[in-house]
Homo-oligomer: A and B are copies of this chain.
Amino acid sequence: LRQGMPEVIFGEGKDAGQIVQIMTAMHATGSNILVTRLSPEKGAEIGTHFPAARYHDEARCLTLAQRPPEMRGRGTILVVSAGTSDIGVAAEALVTARFLGNEAEPLYDVGVSGIHRLLARREMLCSASVIIVVAGMEGALPSVVGGLVDRPVIAVPTSVGYGASFGGIAALLGMLNSCAAGVTVVNIDNGFGAACAASLINRV
Contacts and interface: CB of A to CB of B under 8 A. Distances in A.
A18 to B, nearest CB: 10
A183 interface: yes
Interface stretch (A23-31, A43-51, A59-67, A186-194): A186-194
A152 B204 contact: yes
Contact of A163 (B112, B176, B184, B199): B176
Interface residues of A, number: 75
Interface of A: 1-5, 12-13, 74-75, 82-83, 85, 111-115, 119, 129-130, 137-140, 143-144, 146-152, 154, 157, 159, 161-190, 193-194, 196-197, 199-202, 204
20 contacts: A3-B147, A3-B181, A3-B182, A74-B204, A75-B204, A115-B144, A130-B204, A151-B200, A152-B204, A164-B188, A165-B173, A169-B173, A172-B176, A174-B174, A176-B185, A181-B196, A181-B197, A183-B197, A185-B185, A201-B201
B137 A179 contact: yes
Contacts of A190: 162-163
A176 B137 CA distance: 9
Nearest to A190: B163
Given A2-B147, A150-B200, A204-B151, A176 B181 contact: no
Contact of A150 (B3, B154, B188): B3
A75 B167 CA distance: 37
